[in-house]
């Protein structure tokens, strides 16, 4: 059984059809790519998976459970982590504190423990800090743990957000343009980190990217969408040479 199975996913914003009859099956440990021009509906699909929008119709089956109609926090607690196209970090907090916030759904000490500062609370907070620091180490940015996020370079902030997404201990990680705005060197470093996440944590990864090198090098299979509809799906080589994909991107050179 696939970890994620989406069937007939369709969504309208008023009279505008944003996604039409989208489907996908993602296995445990798989890296799947989703590409398409700006406005094609890629981020909307992620928002539907995460419960930010409720689809007009269709099924989103994750680990055997239909997610349609569930709240975002429920979906997160079931094992879906996410980064955003436009980062959502607490820029006035440190990198470490941002990652610690990602563990909030795992806290067990309750309201009384929080109010009275019980021993259990102190133990849990210490454990969370240690685990958050280990995630920053995995991202290669532990030296920035005590830096306020607003003072960090853009590429480092992206990694902080990725570490926070991992704090929910996901089975599926949704990455929305994780290399956007990065230099070529930062892009390669981020690709290495994504591969490391897959190998060390065994996660399935669903990846939106505009930079073709990223999806071509990381993904086993790729889906291309345009105007909310799938226009092609297959291996990186099949997608690279598909005339419908080339046409959607308005030029062969973007597939290099």
Flag whether 86 is in a domain. Answer: no
Label residue 14 exposed, middle or buried (CB < 10 Å: 0-12, 13-18, 19+).
Answer: exposed
Q: Is the pLDDT of residue 252 over 90?
A: no
Whether pTM exceeds 0.85: yes
**Average model confidence (pLDDT) across the chain:** 91
Among candidate residues 168, 186, 205, the one where a domain is terminated: 168
Residue 256: what pLDDT?
A: 45
Residue 126: what pLDDT?
A: 85
Please, what's the largest Cα pairwise distance for the chain? 64
Q: Which long-range contacts (CB under 8 A, 24 or more apart) does 142-148 make?
A: 144/95, 145/94, 145/95, 145/96, 146/94, 146/95, 146/96, 147/94, 147/95, 148/91, 148/92, 148/93, 148/94
Under 8 Å between Cβ of 40 and 66: no
- Regarding whether 175 and 131 lie in a shared domain, the answer is no
Among candidate residues 139, 168, 197, the one where a domain is terminated: 168
Q: Is the pLDDT of residue 205 over 80?
A: yes
- Regarding whether 146 and 26 lie in a shared domain, the answer is no
Pure H helices in 92-175: 95-101, 110-116, 119-138, 154-166
When divided into structural domains, the chain yields a total of 2
Flag whether 230 is in a domain. Answer: yes
Residue 107: what pLDDT?
A: 59
> Which range of residues forms the domain containing residue 129?
91-168
Flag whether 138 is in a domain. Answer: yes
H/E stretch holding 13 = strand 4-13
Q: Is the pLDDT of residue 152 over 80?
A: yes
The tens digit of pLDDT for each residue in 62-112 reads 999 999 999 999 999 999 999 998 888 999 999 999 999 988 766 555 544
- Binned at pLDDT 50, 70 and 90, residue 248 comes out as confident
- pLDDT above 70 as % of the chain: 91
Average pLDDT of the segment spanning 219-242: 96
Among candidate residues 151, 168, 185, the one where a domain is terminated: 168
- Smallest Cα–Cα separation from 224: which of 49, 13, 45, 14? 45
Q: How many CB atoms lie within 10 A of CB 32?
A: 22
The tens digit of pLDDT for each residue in 100-149 reads 998 876 655 554 455 555 676 678 888 999 999 999 999 999 999 999 99
Q: Is the pLDDT of residue 208 over 90?
A: yes
């Amino acid at each position: 059984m696939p970890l994620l199975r989406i069937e007939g996913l369709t969504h309208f914003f008023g009279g505008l059809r944003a996604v039409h009859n989208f489907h996908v099956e993602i296995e445990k440990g798989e890296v799947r790519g989703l590409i398409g021009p700006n406005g094609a509906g890629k981020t909307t699909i992620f928002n539907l998976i995460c419960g930010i929008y409720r689809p007009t119709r269709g099924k989103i089956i994750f680990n055997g459970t239909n997610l349609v109609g569930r709240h975002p926090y429920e979906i997160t607690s079931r094992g879906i982590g996410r980064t955003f196209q436009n980062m959502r970090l607490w820029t006035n907090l440190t990198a470490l504190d941002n990652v610690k916030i990602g563990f909030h759904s795992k806290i067990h000490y309750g309201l009384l423990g929080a109010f009275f500062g019980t021993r259990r609370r102190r133990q849990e907070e210490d454990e969370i800090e240690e685990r958050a620091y280990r995630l920053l180490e995995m991202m290669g940015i532990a030296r920035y743990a005590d830096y306020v996020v607003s003072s960090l370079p853009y590429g480092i902030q992206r990694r902080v957000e990725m570490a926070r997404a991992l704090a929910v201990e996901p089975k599926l990680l949704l990455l929305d343009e994780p290399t956007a705005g990065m230099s070529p060197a930062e892009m390669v470093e981020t690709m290495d980190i994504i591969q490391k996440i897959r190998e060390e944590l065994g996660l399935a990864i669903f990846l939106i990217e505009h930079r073709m090198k990223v999806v071509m090098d990381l993904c086993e299979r790729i889906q291309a969408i345009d105007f909310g509809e799938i226009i092609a799906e297959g291996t990186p080589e099949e997608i690279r040479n598909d005339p419908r994909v080339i046409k959607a991107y308005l030029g062969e050179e973007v597939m290099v």
